Amino acid sequence: MSHVIWWSSRCGNSHRLPNNMRKRNADKPPVEDDGRTIADMDLEGMPWRRGPLSRKKPRFASPPPDLTPQERRAAIRGMLKAVFLIGAAFLVMFFLLLLFLDLFWLR
């Protein structure tokens, strides 16, 4: 019955809780914080735990190497080859899935 009263009060009706339900909360002593930690939720190494000095450290252990324009183009070309190879593998797998569905499943 208390669920109906709670729901109807949320819908704009002016119902109130019965007296015996209001007294139940008044009989309980208030909860006081004694300062004990039951489970420490701080994680070591997280950004909010590192402090202001750690942000000034370089992101990489060594600075990036100085590349000539030819070396930079070769590195970019190698990266693009790897990306296109993975993309082609996904396209082939998608084509094979559609072929399987067309020939076997959807007939």
pLDDT at 86: 98
pLDDT in tens, 50-99: 666 555 555 666 777 898 999 999 999 999 999 999 999 999 999 999 99
Residues contacting 9, CB < 8 A, separation 6+ = 15, 16
pLDDT in tens, 12-37: 555 666 666 666 666 677 778 888 87
Gap between the Cα atoms of 104 and 92, Å rounded: 18
Instruction: Look up tokens 């009989």; give the residue.
Output: 27
pLDDT at 28: 73
Gap between the Cα atoms of 23 and 4, Å rounded: 19
